[in-house]
């Protein structure tokens, strides 16, 4: 699947994994629509080939309108990369009481339902495009986490949402196969993103020491590199790929 002269959607595109992926897709010749919340877009740098669109992925109507904008860009919509997500930490039974039920629902709503909403409405538009010679119309890449497999203490909500994305991968690929749309998932380990910006160097170093090799945190550009390689590899479908340096998370 070539990205030159095509349209691409990246959710969470104003920072972190999404920003790196949006920039890489634009550099490769795609017209990129970076979906994110308005306040995040205000802080994002201008990137040639990337158009920011204010979208709350939990709002189906906003997603539908934004996807229609991308699909109407004059080139076929071929790529979607879902990076939008949140990751608050809370124990099921903690010192302050039980896990906040609204927080749990919000994490699942943003990370899992938001991903499904963008996947579904983007697939609808992709299915309307002219297929390539082999019948291919596009590829959708979702973002899970190794927490889907190795969720730590305090990650009940986050791990649930990311586990849902892992479980979504194969049935979504099977559902969309008739339309020539591939579905894949990347499960990153610990990545140097804005969520880690507030922690100390000592804490960050401690996290890095837990990675077998390379013994460091992953970089957003490495996620972007993997995402673009999945777009390019037409026989990869219905698979979850861990990008974690062989890390298996301890309970805490």
Catalytic residues: 158
Rounded Cα gap, residues 121 and 187, in angstroms: 23
HSE, CB side, 13 Å, CA atoms: give it for residue 185. 25
Q: Please list, in sequence order, all residues whose beta carbon lies within 8 angstroms of the beta carbon of residue 175, skipping any fewer than 6 positions away.
A: none
Q: How far is the first Cα of the chain from the last one, in angstroms, to the nearest whole number? A: 40
Give yes or no for a contact between 10 and 32, defined as CB atoms under 8 angstroms apart: yes
- Tokens 């999404």 correspond to 18
Let me know how long the chain is: 252
The Cα 141–Cα 243 span in angstroms is: 14
For 235, half-sphere exposure in the C-beta direction (CA atoms, 13 angstrom radius) is 0
- Tokens coding 59: 């709002």
């Amino acid at each position: 699947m070539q990205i030159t002269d095509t349209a691409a959607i990246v959710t969470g595109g104003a920072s972190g994994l999404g920003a790196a992926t949006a920039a890489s897709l634009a550099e490769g010749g795609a017209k990129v629509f970076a979906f994110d919340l308005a306040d995040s877009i205000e802080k994002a740098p201008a990137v040639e080939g990337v158009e920011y669109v204010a979208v709350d992925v939990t709002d189906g109507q906003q997603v539908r309108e934004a996807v229609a904008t991308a699909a109407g860009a004059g080139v076929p919509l071929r790529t979607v990369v879902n990076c939008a997500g949140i990751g608050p930490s809370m124990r099921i039974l903690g010192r302050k009481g039980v896990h906040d039920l609204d927080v749990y629902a919000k994490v699942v709503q943003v990370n899992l339902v938001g991903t499904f909403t963008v996947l579904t409405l983007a697939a609808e538009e992709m299915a309307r495009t002219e297929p390539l010679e082999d019948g291919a119309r596009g590829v959708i890449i979702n973002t899970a986490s190794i927490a889907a497999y190795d969720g730590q203490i305090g990650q009940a909500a986050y791990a649930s949402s990311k586990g849902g994305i892992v479980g979504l991968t194969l049935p979504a690929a099977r559902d969309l196969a008739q339309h020539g749309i591939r579905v894949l998932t990347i499960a990153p380990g610990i990545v140097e993103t804005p969520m880690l910006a507030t922690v100390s160097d000592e804490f960050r170093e401690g996290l890095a020491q837990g990675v077998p090799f390379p013994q460091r945190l992953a970089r957003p550009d490495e996620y972007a590199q993997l995402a673009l390689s999945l777009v390019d590899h037409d026989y990869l479908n219905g698979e979850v790929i861990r990008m974690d340096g062989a890390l298996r998370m301890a309970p805490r």
